[in-house]
Amino acid sequence: RTPLAIATARARLLRAGAGFLVQTLDASFPKTPDASVRVRSKRAAEGGWEVTLLEPKEPAAWAIDAEDGGSVFTCSWHGERTLGKKSVTCPMIALVPRPPRAVRVYDDSGAMTTEVLGKGAPQLALFGEGDAP
């Protein structure tokens, strides 16, 4: 039930093609005090949008919300680092069909940071102490 366990389970379910939406959570995700998320997005030559994660350099996982509307973060694309004997780094460039509304990044401690990128951006679905609107 730790944030890292939930993030790992979510990543595995998404990789298997199963839908996943956290509606309630007993514990809040920890926040890193100096968490910085920087992304660059531009139109891709082959259509859609190319989104590059500039910071952090080595996330455990990250996801992009490029869906039309909606009030919660909806994963349009995600990438994660694969652990093991031959670890694979997380992909840092993604191709999505529409301009990104938000990017969510998970670090090794389970901390989650959401960077809102434009109008019509999703509201945060999870609140920690003192974060409720």
What would the DSSP string read from start to end of 40-84?
A: EEEE-TTSSEEEEEEESSS-SEEEEE--SS-SS---SEEEEPBPS
Burial environment of residue 8 by CB neighbours within 10 A (0 to 12, 13 to 18, 19 or more): middle
Counting other chains too, the contacts that 17-25 makes at CB distance below 8 Å and 24 or more residues apart are: 20/75, 21/72, 22/125, 22/126, 23/125, 25/126
- pLDDT for position 24: 61
How confident is the model over 6-40, as pLDDT tens digits? 778 888 888 888 877 766 655 555 555 566 889 99
Please, what's the b/e burial string for 81-94 (b: 16 or more CB within 10 A of its CB; e: otherwise)? beeeeeeeebeeeb
Q: Is the pTM of this model over 0.85?
A: no
Least reliable range by pLDDT among 19-23, 48-52, 53-57 = 19-23
- pLDDT for position 45: 86
Average pLDDT for residues 81-99, to the nearest whole number? 87
* CATH tag, 3-116: 2.60.40
Q: Tokens standing for 133?
A: 């609107």
pLDDT band at 80 (very low <50, low <70, confident <90, very high): very high
Q: Tokens standing for 38?
A: 């920087």
Mean pLDDT, the chain, whole residue set: 78
Strand partners, 20: none
Domain spans of the chain, in order of start = 3-116
- Spatial CB neighbours of 113, under 8 Å, sequence gap ≥ 6: 31, 32, 35, 37, 104, 105, 107
